Structure 1
């Protein structure tokens, strides 16, 4: 069995990546990253990149929501 890869985004635990056959499967550990749970990637680094993009998209969406509420 291969070693798990811990995926963190800006200090937040996003999930764990495990080798499954020819792919690396992402297992989410926090709610912002549940959209990626079970996704397969060719390389572990691609899972981290996907988690970072997802986190960035959600952060921007939350900022827009807060901006609307403040006006």
Structure 2
């Protein structure tokens, strides 16, 4: 099976709590600027992803920043 790579933009980051209880809900959408995602978007024209992160993991993502998301077949 092929690997699919998608360019995504962090659209929103909502943080709650403090210290060890700090969490962030991070939402992403496909980035279509400059023809990005052109190959797969012909067949799947929408992508949305959200995840909740705790503690320092919440610092890894920032709104309006672009990221590369890679889907690979699992071997297990």
Q: Normalised by the shorter chain, which TM-score bucket?
A: 0.3 to 0.5
More strand by share: 2
TM-score, length-scaled by structure 2:
0.32
